[in-house]
Structure 1
Amino acid sequence: MLVGCHLSIAQGYKKAAEWAVEIDANVFQFFSRNPRGASSKELDLEDVEAMKIIAKQHNFGPLLAHAPYILNLASYKESTYGLGKRILKEDYEKLNNISIPYFNFHPGNHVGKGTEYGIERIAEALNEIITGNENTMILLESMSGKGTEVGYTFEQLKSIIDKVEYSELVGICLDTCHVYSAGYDIVNDLDGVLENFDDVIGIDKLKCIHLNDSMMEFNSRKDRHAKIGEGTLGLEAIEKIISHPQLKDLPFYLETPNELDGHKEEIKLLKSLTVK
């Protein structure tokens, strides 16, 4: 099983990889820069290479970079839109240069302009950023549908992908908390949800899972992550998700409200469920 959590690279990529090993993770996610700002540290290539050595020694799966939360590529405000495009472009180039396989971002909020408007803006930005020569895949994260979020239905995500010229470089990161809150019943009808995903988007576009329990009820359109087995999804549903034939070989990244020790216990629990 490929499972890990979100780790800080504030002390370097190597340190993050060492933390991953300490908690028995074999993948991890990290922010491409300050998650709530535009600041970015200069890249230390020796540090990146040290991380890659650890990853190879411990048979890590694909690492996932997460764009900062301040991005809004669905915005009508040119200053916000321009900043989002600049950050995504800079980070995408950096991640491609250091061979990070996946780069995930929240599609954005249309802020009253309508979903179709938001979809057009997101696709327009991606067409400016993706040249077709990259190896890193940009992933659209499935959202919960709170406020004016774009990307909480499979149809919306598919519409964005269809409008991108180099769509082979765009995939999906499915967030279990988000998708449940968006009205996809992965607790009682996981097979049906995955069949729907395959019909609308294509299961080959699903590249990874944000594995979270939820504090909110089904179809709440609210985004509140819970620790594994302590929310409305529950441990039985999560066991089915990580064991499902169409999902079990994907990388799972925890975004639960835990510190390192807590994530270690969750990883231990999840791995125990897959060897029953």
Structure 2
Amino acid sequence: MLTIGCHLSIAKGFYHAGKEALSIGANTFQFFTRNPRGGKAKEIDQEDIEKLKALMKENDFGPLFAHASYTMNLCSNKKETREFSKMIFKDDLRRLNQIPESYYVFHPGSHVGQGAEKGIELIIEAMNESISEDGAATILLEGMSGKGTEIGGRLEELKQIIDGVKYNKKLGICLDSCHLYSAGYDLVKDLDGVLQEVDRVVGLKRLKAFHLNDSKVDFRSHKDRHEKIGNGTLGEKTIVQIVNHPQLKNIPFNLETPNELEGYQQEIELLKKNYKND
């Protein structure tokens, strides 16, 4: 079964987001753990969560995607920003214990001129301070496009972070089709080769989730510009090949395309129609 969803607001509650997902044919969804451009987090309503759990069980939902705030930068060149980011990171992990099965997805960060090695060192340090041996959350580093001073544009950087975290049993990666293509991994001409490289460097067992996006920009552009499925440089054929690839068919997908609900519904219908359920 294809596990597919999109990014939805939880402003009206988790249960409302779950109902919204169902209304467009989705069986998962992504949400921000807090204000994506700030640090404020809405209090969790346990009754709302219980209703969501029942909804997910009744409708065979896959894991949800809990996306961290964009303001979180564990490898900032400013100590106060790093401390603020660690506070967000720890609080998000605590809050996820109250939410049904969710993968915590976050952008590794930007080293802001300190160099990739220093940036990776700071990320590892922050994660080791925050992740305990009995931590319940599955934490996913998102692969990035490699723009500016971003960490995570190369699989080797994600691998280095994972290897540096002491309690990394529940640590994995979330790949993004737009980011991968922009970073220089040719999904259009060599999807098999890209997945072989993921397996060689990080290990496919660490790949737990996938963001599906077409791209407004060219291959190896190192820019992050998402496009609607079929309207970009990846194209509909490549996206359909991704969801049908035998090494990817058991992982959840989420759309981050520039759409409203109706557009997401159309894309979900398109992918379901082209999904080979074998």
Determine if the TM-score, normalized by the shorter chain, exceeds 0.5. yes
Deviation per CA, 1:67-124: give whole Å up to 9, x if none.
0000111112111100100001001111023343310000000010000000011111
1:19 equivalent to 2:47? Answer no
Describe the shift of the 1:22–1:99 C-alpha distance in structure 2 as closer, same or farther (beyond 3 A). Answer: closer
In the other structure, the counterpart of 1:141 is 142
In the other structure, the counterpart of 2:189 is 188
Paired residues of 2:5 and 2:255 also in contact (CA < 8 A): yes
Matches within 5 A, 1:1-276: 1-275=2-276
Paired residues of 2:49 and 2:100 also in contact (CA < 8 A): no
Q: Which runs of 5+ in 2 are unaligned?
A: none
Looking at structure 2, the residues matched to 169 and 22 of structure 1 have their Cα atoms a distance apart, in angstroms, of 32
Shift of 1:40: 1.1
Looking at structure 2, the residues matched to 201 and 275 of structure 1 have their Cα atoms a distance apart, in angstroms, of 27
TM-score, with structure 1 as normaliser = 0.98
Q: Which amino acid is 2:245 matched to?
A: H
Looking at structure 1, the residues matched to 29 and 53 of structure 2 have their Cα atoms a distance apart, in angstroms, of 12
Farther off after superposition, 157-166 or 97-106: 97-106
Computed over aligned residues only, the root mean square deviation of the Cα atoms, in angstroms, reads: 0.9
SS in 2 for 1:171: strand
Shift of 1:41: 1.3
Number of equivalenced pairs = 276
TM-score, with structure 2 as normaliser = 0.98
Looking at structure 2, the residues matched to 115 and 246 of structure 1 have their Cα atoms a distance apart, in angstroms, of 30
SS in 1 for 2:15: helix
Paired residues of 1:132 and 1:169 also in contact (CA < 8 A): no
Looking at structure 2, the residues matched to 273 and 207 of structure 1 have their Cα atoms a distance apart, in angstroms, of 22
Farther off after superposition, 136-145 or 126-135: 126-135
Q: Which amino acid is 1:236 matched to?
A: K
Q: Which runs of 5+ in 1 are unaligned?
A: none
